[in-house]
Amino acid sequence: MTDSIVSSSFSNGIIVQSGNVNHLNIRNSKLLNNVCTAIQSIDPGSLVLLDDSTITGNATGVGVGSGGSMLSYKNNRLFGNNSDGHRPRPCPA
């Protein structure tokens, strides 16, 4: 997902889980003002990779469930949510 906006959902913005979309790259995108969690990786085998994106104004910025993974290139903006949630882990070098 590149150059996209996920905004003003009455629930969660994006949910990544195995069996559905199990690997999602988010690049240069905005996840804004969602009523629940902006982005979630919720079970084993699900992976989100964040690159140069902004997550702000949500109830929770990032959610990671049991076994889910959220990685970051450390160039994202995660701020201004009621709770920023789980900080994504840095991508391995």
**38 occurs within a structural domain:** yes
How much is the pTM? 0.92
Residue 93 pLDDT exceeds 70: no
**46 occurs within a structural domain:** yes
**11 occurs within a structural domain:** yes
**41 occurs within a structural domain:** yes
Number of domains making up the chain:
1
Write out pLDDT tens, residues 21-55: 689 999 999 999 999 999 999 988 899 999 999 99
Domain that holds residue 35: 5-79
Q: In 3D, which of 3, 1, 10, 5 has the Cα closest to residue 59?
A: 10
pLDDT of 20 reads 60
Confidence of residue 14 (pLDDT cuts 50, 70, 90): very high
Contact 29, 51 (CB under 8 A): no
pLDDT of 92 reads 83
**91 occurs within a structural domain:** no
